Amino acid sequence: MIMEKLNEKEGKLLRLALCPGAQPGEVSAAAEKFFTSLRRRGVTAEELIRGPVLGLSKAKRVGPGDLRFPFGRYRGQRIRDVPVDYPYPRHSRIPAHK
């Protein structure tokens, strides 16, 4: 999702700049070319952080309560919407880890 708004060249430069095996000279050259390309296209810092370039503004955090209940009366509903007193499966059915 992050890479969909970057062009192919910018994607390659970003991968190289963040590659753990890249040499220091390669990292700095790739970073310089990456930002030069973004500037040439008129991308601002705000767009890069929040806006359409990286798509971070559309990101949604999903927590454990957003998972869907897999069975029973509340099948398909979010776990946060299932009453606390609903009989969940007991851990005694799960074999002990050895």
With CA atoms as reference, report the closest residue to 74 among 64, 66, 65, 83.
83
Task: Dump pLDDT digits (tens) for 13-42.
Answer: 999 999 989 898 999 999 999 999 988 988
Q: What is the DSSP string of the chain?
A: -GGGGS-HHHHHHHHHHH-TTS-HHHHHHHHHHHHHHHHHTT--HHHHHTSTTTTGGG-----GGGSBP-SSTTTTSBGGGS-TTS-PPPGGGSPPP-
Strand pairing partners for 68? 78
Task: Dump pLDDT digits (tens) for 42-98.
Answer: 888 877 776 554 544 455 667 777 788 777 888 888 888 888 887 766 555 555 555
pTM assigned to the model: 0.48
The residue extents of the domains of the chain are 2-58
